[in-house]
Amino acid sequence: MDGAGLGLGIVKRLVQAHGGGIAAENAVGGGAVFRVWFAGRAG
């Protein structure tokens, strides 16, 4: 499936706007793993 390459850039900006982050790494056997996290709220 081909795309315009905008998806991860959009996700990164949204996640960072909410105090989180995104990371990517190679998956075992090929492909990629993307980890997304958001800042938690206390209480």
How many structural domains is the chain composed of?
Answer: 1
Please give the residue range of the domain that contains residue 30.
7-37
| The pLDDT of residue 16 | 93
Would 42 be classed as within a structural domain?
Answer: no
- Which residues make Cβ contacts (< 8 Å) with residue 11, sequence separation at least 6? 22, 36
As a whole number of angstroms, the distance between CA 24 and CA 31 comes to 10
* Residue 1 domain flag: no
Give a yes or no: residue 24 inside a domain. Answer: yes
pLDDT for res 2: 73
Residue 23 lies in a domain: yes
Is 28 inside a domain boundary?
yes
pLDDT of residue 3: 73
**Within a domain: 18:** yes
CB 32 within 8 A of CB 26: yes
Which stretch of DSSP H or E encloses residue 2? none
Residuewise pLDDT in 10s, the chain (43 residues) = 677 788 989 999 999 999 999 999 999 999 999 999 998 776 5
2 within a domain of the structure (yes/no):
no
